[in-house]
Structure 1
Amino acid sequence: MLDKQQVRNGEDAESAEKLNPSNEHNFEEAFEQTGHGKINHLVLFTSGLIMLNVSMESVGMSYAITAAECELQLNSKDKGLVNAAAFIGIICTSFVWGYLGDRLGRRAVMLPAIVMSAVFSIISSFATNVWMLIVFRFLTGCLISASSATVYAYLGEMHANSKRAAAIAWGSVFISFSFIILPGLAWLIIPGKWSFTLGYIQIVPWRAFVWLWCAPGLAAALILLFLPESPRFLLAAKGPDAALPVLAKMYEWNYGGSEEDFPVKKLASSSEEARSSGFSGAVKNVGLMFKAPLLRCVFISHISMFTVFMLSSGLYVWVPDILNSILRSPSSQNITICQIIKDKFLNASSSLEVQSCQSEVSVAVFPISMSMGAVFALTYLAIGFFINKIGRKTMYCGIMFVCGAATVGAAWVPHGAAATALLILALCSGCAASILAAIAVDVFPTTLRAMAMCVMYMVGRGGAAMGSYFLGATLDLHCHEAFTAFGVFTAASTILMIFWPKPEKVRGQMEDKGYTY
């Protein structure tokens, strides 16, 4: 396959050289000459591992917290803080990492942050009290924040424009793997009765469970050691002379031979990048997000990402408890899940029995959770196959509308199995985040892209926090109203995409101001 591409590439290069004796190409022409092969696949795999790592670090404690409840003497408030700690860390540091990603580079920021996040995550597994656990989960969140959105900029910039959306969609498939791997590992490890002493701490299954979910991040960090920095970033930050060797290296990886065989010997200098150095430059760039033509893009993409996370992540943290209620209800085939939840709450409120410290989780929750992850994976794969055929906006709007309708239906259908299926379908709204990222990444210039993506995901995780809190406050007594509000808001948010501007027009206006893509 690559041999045919190389022959065609060589013929194109000869033709181009006849028309262009100076052998000077613009960046997009030069990038197309690197082909699509080994390095693109390796970048895709590595980015997928990073996304998997971010997802597992964000929600992994929700599976470990029940096992740690008695040992660390956790009440409901403590468990809520532990589960929220990583998200709070991500929200608090997104702006800083976006700034550093645009100033220092995508790979330069992600590599050390991934390693340090694994260190803090492992330290958190040795916690002996709730506050030690909360602090180190917060610090872990601060560090995985560096990769949570920057990875989309890196993955997109390491692919040609024609393959960018599909690459982001394929990379995002790895996120769904976390919803298969985490419950699978929890099912295998956490119920174990073994323990051993390490220093002064008794190591029990839930602590070892934390160690295992660090593996994808460490594997990604190892591969990043051998991958180059984004050439688009180097072009914007340091100029054509810095970007050209990376393009030659990509050509070598994809076609074999040597870097000297790269047909492009000189990149045309575009207009001087409109940027300032230091923090003042970052403030100036952020200011561009709130001016035409980017203001409309920022408003639509950030509100949309808020909605995606509000439904998918906000609802997800409650699904194990909801599933447990359905599975333990003797009449789940005849009443709605909202009635099941209300009955459980009323029974718990009227009971004066003192409960011993033990977890009561139906074992069926784990395979159902794994099945949920499999559905997510299939959805992501479908997005990867059809996104360029159907169109990004059409696919995003279709998924969000269907998921919104499923959310409303889940609360009203009087059958436990049907309600569970609709809940799983509603949670597929999380898959729309990758499509939204692919839509948004095209309109932000290189020197602003990492910052814009980080802030967009920060707003999204704010939606997750608000959605989780809203459901926690209303689920017991106002379940129907809560699900209906979630579903209607999600479906209605697709109207915003009608006003999304043409990317070519935005890029043209920004390029006229001296910014590159």
Structure 2
Amino acid sequence: MENNNAKDPEALSLEHAKDPTFEEALAQTKFGLFNYLLIAVSGTILTAVLLETLGISYVVAVAECDLDLSTQQKGVLGAVAFAGVIISSHLWGFLADTRGRRRVIVPTLFAAFASTVASSLMTNFWAMAACRFMTGFFISGSSATIFAYLGEYHTSQYGSRSIMGASAVFGLGGLLLPGVAFVVINQTWQVTIPFVEIVYRPWRLFLVVCGLPSLFSAIALLGVPESPKFVFSQGNSKEAIETIKWMHRMNVGKKEAPLEIQRIVASSDEGQLSTESNSMWEQIWQQTAPLFRGSYLKRTTIVCILQFGSSLAAQGMYMFFPGILNQMAQAQDAGIHRTTVCQVVYAHRNSTEQSDYQQNCSQTLDLSTYGYSFILEAIYTVGFALIGVIINIVGRLSILVFVFTCCAVAGLLVIFVNIPAIWFYLILLLCGFCTNVVGAITVDLYPTNLRAMAVCISMMVGRLGSVVGANLLGFLLDSQCELTFAIPGTFLLVCGVLSFFIPGITAGRRPKEEEKVEATTNE
């Protein structure tokens, strides 16, 4: 007798045909409260990375006597955190792709805050450099992984816009840097801590304040689940469905009935990580090697070069920005108004050599230094918000070419223009817009099982650009100032041209051949 309970194969096929793909299931959560909160937290994490790595630029301008710093040592302190990022990026990328995005981001944020607090208590160059290295080592865990974590909570329709939304929050948070520096550093109090021979001045407190966003972000993420796309790519569809249902409840509340998703079918772009090897190093190799094979080689090379160039100028060249601004203000106070940036740098070098070193130490900065820095961060805030609105309209290629070209021209004009020279320096630093745009592009260029590693490697190369830029200033600024600005200006022109060769950049989506090569990533 025929089993009446057995389902007809055709009916079973039709039933499964109704099951959504991950992208379709994610779209059912709508875009609401949860998305805005996650964008805000992600933007705060990006702000934490900014403050942890660039806050030192204000410190080296006022702590040269406390730490007995030379110009070269200032460059090293500015770069050493990025060196920590470079050393650890590969590790965090591997762990994020194999253990989870959130499991990397949260503990590294807590550790970064702890190392920042420790660095605020250091009394010499070497101890400070060691602590700043550890800060960079840990903050690296969130600096790149957050792009994958945030992007995987959104559909392809909102992926780039969500990342640029977080970048807008990052720009707004960036206003904290000159604001907090002005409030904290420009004070004259000091406290001597007995037994440890530490004179606690405002710049030490400033370092601690710069670490607070890391602490707050880590606490906020304790209540957020792992990326649903990551857990789905690991074969845990049940947990992914529960996270998607939780997102839906957060976004719509009681306005709609709960989602009735029972099963999610895998689409062609949901690659899974091979875990056959028991060796961690073999797993790291399996995770990294595909990025430099086949069609992935071209895209990996391009995004790494673009990140190197944008970070070289935006972050590396920023390290001496407050100090140079302060020198420009002092020159204007002395009645010198028509002068190039390099002429001011040379004049300051000569005055330092001819006078007592301690007399040239400054515990505070001129008010105009904070003013220009505030303007820079305000432009970033408005710019990131604007890019988030227009990125799907004008396309990512147009944004990259425009920003790279404008910043390159400004970097070259800094060498020759004497009025108003500092504005061109400021424009050069705006190529940081490209860092996050390229980050958004990178998320779309790779499948889930390679995405975090790809972003981490590209950001690692970007941080290498920051190290090169900071040390370029430290070693060449006093003797070859013009060359110091010519190098990033020329490199950014190359980046502008290279942007045209990003796969799928004109279409604004993942390349079509992605599905074909993805099947071979684990071979």
TM-score by length of 1: 0.89
User: What's the counterpart of residue 152 of structure 1?
Assistant: 147
Q: Give CA-to-partner distance per residue, 1:446-465, whole Å, 9 cap, x none.
A: 11111111111110111111
CA contact (8 A) 2:80 2:467 kept: no
User: What's the counterpart of residue 468 of structure 2?
Assistant: 466
User: What's the counterpart of residue 477 of structure 2?
Assistant: 475
CA contact (8 A) 2:76 2:474 kept: no
* Identity of matched residues, %: 31
Distance 1:383 1:273 in 2: 33
Distance 1:338 1:189 in 2: 29
User: What's the counterpart of residue 161 of structure 2?
Assistant: 166
Question: How far does residue 382 in structure 1 lie from its aligned partner after superposition?
Answer: 1.4
Pairwise mapping of residues 357-436 of structure 1 onto structure 2 (< 5 A)? Answer: 358-359=361-362, 361-415=365-419, 418-436=420-438
Q: Where does structure 2 lack aligned partners over 5 or more consecutive residues?
A: 1-10, 505-509
User: What's the counterpart of residue 262 of structure 2?
Assistant: 265
Q: 1:281 aligns with which of 273, 283, 290?
A: 283
What is the identity, as a one-letter code, of the residue corresponding to 2:309? T
CA contact (8 A) 1:251 1:259 kept: no
Range that drifts further, 222-231 or 339-348: 339-348
User: What's the counterpart of residue 175 of structure 1?
Assistant: 170
What is the identity, as a one-letter code, of the residue corresponding to 1:325? Q
TM-align CA RMSD: 2.6
Question: How far does residue 325 in structure 1 lie from its aligned partner after superposition?
Answer: 2.8
Distance 1:354 1:128 in 2: 18
Distance 1:152 1:409 in 2: 34
CA contact (8 A) 1:114 1:218 kept: yes
User: What's the counterpart of residue 47 of structure 1?
Assistant: 42
CA contact (8 A) 2:58 2:323 kept: no
Distance 1:88 1:354 in 2: 29
Question: How far does residue 353 in structure 1 lie from its aligned partner after superposition?
Answer: 4.8
Pairwise mapping of residues 500-511 of structure 1 onto structure 2 (< 5 A)? Answer: 500-502=502-504, 503-511=510-518
Range that drifts further, 156-165 or 238-247: 238-247
Distance 2:273 2:379 in 1: 45
Q: 2:359 aligns to what SS in structure 1?
A: coil
Q: Give CA-to-partner distance per residue, 1:326-358, whole Å, 9 cap, x none.
A: 222256543332333334434545x26554363
Question: How far does residue 377 in structure 1 lie from its aligned partner after superposition?
Answer: 1.2
CA contact (8 A) 1:125 1:210 kept: yes
Q: Give CA-to-partner distance per residue, 1:170-199, whole Å, 9 cap, x none.
A: 211233345421222222222323344667
User: What's the counterpart of residue 83 of structure 1?
Assistant: 78
User: What's the counterpart of residue 31 of structure 1?
Assistant: 26
Pairwise mapping of residues 175-324 of structure 1 onto structure 2 (< 5 A)? Answer: 175-196=170-191, 200=195, 201-257=198-254, 261-269=258-266, 273=272, 275-277=274-276, 279=280, 280-324=282-326
How many residue pairs end up in the alignment?
496
Q: 1:128 aligns with which of 112, 123, 128?
A: 123
Q: 1:60 aligns with which of 43, 51, 55?
A: 55
What is the identity, as a one-letter code, of the residue corresponding to 2:219? L
Range that drifts further, 187-196 or 166-175: 187-196
CA contact (8 A) 2:111 2:138 kept: yes
Question: How far does residue 256 in structure 1 lie from its aligned partner after superposition?
Answer: 1.7
Distance 2:182 2:238 in 1: 53
Question: How far does residue 126 in structure 1 lie from its aligned partner after superposition?
Answer: 1.9
- CA gap 1:345/1:91 in 2 versus in 1, 3 angstroms: same
Question: How far does residue 470 in structure 1 lie from its aligned partner after superposition?
Answer: 2.5
Question: How far does residue 401 in structure 1 lie from its aligned partner after superposition?
Answer: 0.8
Q: Where does structure 1 lack aligned partners over 5 or more consecutive residues?
A: 1-16
Q: 1:359 aligns to what SS in structure 2?
A: coil
Question: How far does residue 266 in structure 1 lie from its aligned partner after superposition?
Answer: 0.8
Question: How far does residue 52 in structure 1 lie from its aligned partner after superposition?
Answer: 0.6
Q: 2:512 aligns to what SS in structure 1?
A: helix
User: What's the counterpart of residue 448 of structure 2?
Assistant: 446
Q: Give CA-to-partner distance per residue, 1:357-380, whole Å, 9 cap, x none.
A: 631743321222112111121111
CA contact (8 A) 1:235 1:243 kept: yes
What is the identity, as a one-letter code, of the residue corresponding to 2:201? V
- CA gap 1:124/1:481 in 2 versus in 1, 3 angstroms: closer
CA contact (8 A) 1:64 1:186 kept: no
CA contact (8 A) 1:106 1:151 kept: yes
Q: 1:364 aligns to what SS in structure 2?
A: helix
Q: 1:72 aligns to what SS in structure 2?
A: coil
Range that drifts further, 467-476 or 222-231: 467-476
User: What's the counterpart of residue 7 of structure 1?
Assistant: none
CA contact (8 A) 2:75 2:474 kept: no
Question: How far does residue 25 in structure 1 lie from its aligned partner after superposition?
Answer: 1.4
- CA gap 1:241/1:270 in 2 versus in 1, 3 angstroms: farther
- CA gap 1:197/1:98 in 2 versus in 1, 3 angstroms: same
What is the identity, as a one-letter code, of the residue corresponding to 1:119? A
Distance 2:212 2:14 in 1: 49
- CA gap 1:353/1:48 in 2 versus in 1, 3 angstroms: closer
- CA gap 1:177/1:199 in 2 versus in 1, 3 angstroms: farther
Q: Give CA-to-partner distance per residue, 1:137-190, whole Å, 9 cap, x none.
A: 211111111001001111111111111111111211233345421222222222
- CA gap 1:397/1:282 in 2 versus in 1, 3 angstroms: same
- CA gap 1:342/1:209 in 2 versus in 1, 3 angstroms: closer
Range that drifts further, 91-100 or 195-204: 195-204
Q: 1:335 aligns to what SS in structure 2?
A: coil
Q: 2:359 aligns with which of 356, 372, 380?
A: 356
- CA gap 1:123/1:153 in 2 versus in 1, 3 angstroms: same
Distance 2:31 2:401 in 1: 30
Distance 1:224 1:507 in 2: 32
Question: How far does residue 117 in structure 1 lie from its aligned partner after superposition?
Answer: 1.3
CA contact (8 A) 1:294 1:506 kept: no
Q: Give CA-to-partner distance per residue, 1:191-244, whole Å, 9 cap, x none.
A: 323344667455332222222222212211121011111011111123423311
- CA gap 1:97/1:471 in 2 versus in 1, 3 angstroms: same
Distance 1:473 1:250 in 2: 51
CA contact (8 A) 1:252 1:258 kept: no
Distance 2:521 2:302 in 1: 24
Distance 1:127 1:258 in 2: 55
CA contact (8 A) 2:311 2:432 kept: yes
What is the identity, as a one-letter code, of the residue corresponding to 1:256? G
CA contact (8 A) 1:153 1:441 kept: yes
What is the identity, as a one-letter code, of the residue corresponding to 2:217? A
Distance 2:153 2:221 in 1: 13
User: What's the counterpart of residue 488 of structure 1?
Assistant: 490
User: What's the counterpart of residue 11 of structure 1?
Assistant: none
Question: How far does residue 286 in structure 1 lie from its aligned partner after superposition?
Answer: 0.8
Question: How far does residue 81 in structure 1 lie from its aligned partner after superposition?
Answer: 3.0
- CA gap 1:63/1:449 in 2 versus in 1, 3 angstroms: same
